[in-house]
Amino acid sequence: MMNALIATRANKCLRSDVLAGLSLRRKRLPSKYFYDAVGSRLFDRITDLPEYYPTRTEIGIMHANAGAISERCGSRCLLIELGAGSATKVRILLDRLDRAAGYVPVDVSGEHLRAAAATLAADYPYLDIVPVVADFTTRFAVPERPSRRRVVYFPGSTIGNFDPPEADALLRRIAHLVGEGGGLLLGVDLRKDPEVLERAYNDAAGVTAAFNRNLLVRINRELGADFDVQAFRHVAYYNREESRIEMHLVSDSEQQATVGSTTFDFRAGESIHTENSYKYDVAELAVRAGACGLRLDDTWTDARGYFAVLHFTATPTA
Ligand SMILES: C[S@@+](CC[C@H](N)C(=O)[O-])C[C@H]1O[C@@H](n2cnc3c(N)ncnc32)[C@H](O)[C@@H]1O
């Protein structure tokens, strides 16, 4: 009954966000809706693609610095992971942390999260794992556990999916969530040669294209819409001015799609902007995070400088 209620509420949010986004002059859809069960599995396939360097690079940084990173997190910490997905990278931390007080993976993709938490529980039977299905941009309850410190783990450069004012709001929320002296361990993708970036989002096997189009498949299924999914092309490119990869679904021809009782017109070549992935500069990010109550105190990166794992400490609030 409770699950059905939650599902109905989630469906209402999807409907209102889709109707609002497609009514804009420049059509947009929120990227969090990529992640139904199929989308989460497609994302996992993306992380294994030869062109997609971020996951491999971040895992390499985590392995190379596991001791120092775990020490930074401290003993008896309550680890809260935002956008946990398959909860793969956290294993590197869990293998080294000194007596974690608990692990709270948070994700909107409920089915996928519960399966990931069950797999993890089988491998870490001593660990108190409490999965929370929630949108981390909204208020959600973190289970109380006796701990020395709260640490938010936010890997995968998921923060890059938010426009700067939204990302800053999220950083403030995290500072508040962990409280003074608490930590944030953040994985961010760094600015680099646009060719490398564009290759990562335009893989030869077409998995990223399928991931992008799955948004329309989901809208058709969950909202009874009638998008001709194959009539929308996957387009991803680097916007230098904004330092971000943009993903779009571009209409191949003049067409219409109906969502419930609302019909939307598409011109040939018109796009639905589905995702941004901002690329960071560590010094700039440190200044922004500082203004949000988070002091950068450690930076770990790879030899090419492609990706960074950063540790911040929440500062006293004014
Ligand atoms: C880019 S993937 C990263 C997955 C994993 N953390 C990693 O590093 O590979 C983003 C993850 O965040 C989740 N997500 C995206 N927006 C979210 C939101 N607003 N609230 C909760 N989870 C969200 C997605 O379901 C997905 O699992």
Taking only the tens place, the pLDDT of each residue in 244-263 is: 999 999 999 999 999 999 99
> Residue 303 corresponds to which tokens in the numbers above?
């030899």
Atom of ligand 1 nearest to the CA of 43: 2
Same domain, 13 and 135: no
- 238 close to ligand 1 (CB < 6 Angstrom): no
60 part of a folded domain:
no
- When pLDDT is averaged across residues 288-315 and rounded to a whole number, the result is 98
Which residue's CA is minimally distant from atom 16 of ligand 1?
32
Please determine, for residue 3, whether its predicted confidence score (pLDDT) is greater than 60. no
Cα 39 to ligand 1 centre (Å): 11
Q: What's the confidence (pLDDT) of residue 11?
A: 76
Q: What's the confidence (pLDDT) of residue 318?
A: 52
CATH (domain of 161): 3.40.50.150
155 part of a folded domain:
yes
**How many domains does the chain contain in total?**
2
Which residue's CA is minimally distant from atom 6 of ligand 1?
84
- 81 close to ligand 1 (CB < 6 Angstrom): no
- When pLDDT is averaged across residues 36-61 and rounded to a whole number, the result is 98
> Residue 36 corresponds to which tokens in the numbers above?
């139904």
Confidence of residue 239 (pLDDT cuts 50, 70, 90): very high
- Give CA–CA dist 134/108, Å, rounded: 5
- 307 close to ligand 1 (CB < 6 Angstrom): no
Same domain, 29 and 139: no
229 part of a folded domain:
yes
Q: What's the confidence (pLDDT) of residue 6?
A: 54
Same domain, 87 and 122: yes
Confidence of residue 10 (pLDDT cuts 50, 70, 90): low
Residue range(s) defining the domain that contains residue 310: 65-192+281-314
259 part of a folded domain:
yes
- Give CA–CA dist 77/94, Å, rounded: 11
Same domain, 173 and 299: yes
Query: Please, what is the average pLDDT of the chain?
Result: 96
59 part of a folded domain:
no
Distances (CA, A) of 288 to 60, 161, 175, 242, 301: 26, 16, 13, 16, 19
Q: For the residues of 3-55, what is the DSSP string, one character each?
A: HHHHHHHHHHHHHHHHHHHHHSSS-B--GGGG-SHHHHHHHHHHHTSTT-HHH
Distances (CA, A) of 155 to 80, 261, 291: 11, 39, 21
Cα 261 to ligand 1 centre (Å): 31
- When pLDDT is averaged across residues 113-117 and rounded to a whole number, the result is 98
Same domain, 146 and 98: yes
Tell me whether residue 16 is exposed, middle or buried, using C-beta atoms within 10 angstroms of its C-beta: 0 to 12, 13 to 18, 19 or more. exposed
Same domain, 72 and 165: yes
Nearby residues of 253 by Cβ (< 8 Å), 6 or more positions away: 231, 268
Same domain, 188 and 92: yes
Same domain, 150 and 290: yes
Same domain, 188 and 199: no
271 part of a folded domain:
yes
172 part of a folded domain:
yes
Q: What's the confidence (pLDDT) of residue 8?
A: 63
- 131 close to ligand 1 (CB < 6 Angstrom): no
Same domain, 152 and 252: no
Q: Are 187 and 157 in contact (CB under 8 A)?
A: yes
Which residue's CA is minimally distant from atom 7 of ligand 1?
156
Same domain, 287 and 163: yes
- When pLDDT is averaged across residues 239-245 and rounded to a whole number, the result is 98
- 32 close to ligand 1 (CB < 6 Angstrom): yes
56 part of a folded domain:
no
Same domain, 183 and 298: yes
Closest-CA residue to 213 (of 9, 19, 42, 91): 42
Q: Are 226 and 216 in contact (CB under 8 A)?
A: no
- 137 close to ligand 1 (CB < 6 Angstrom): yes
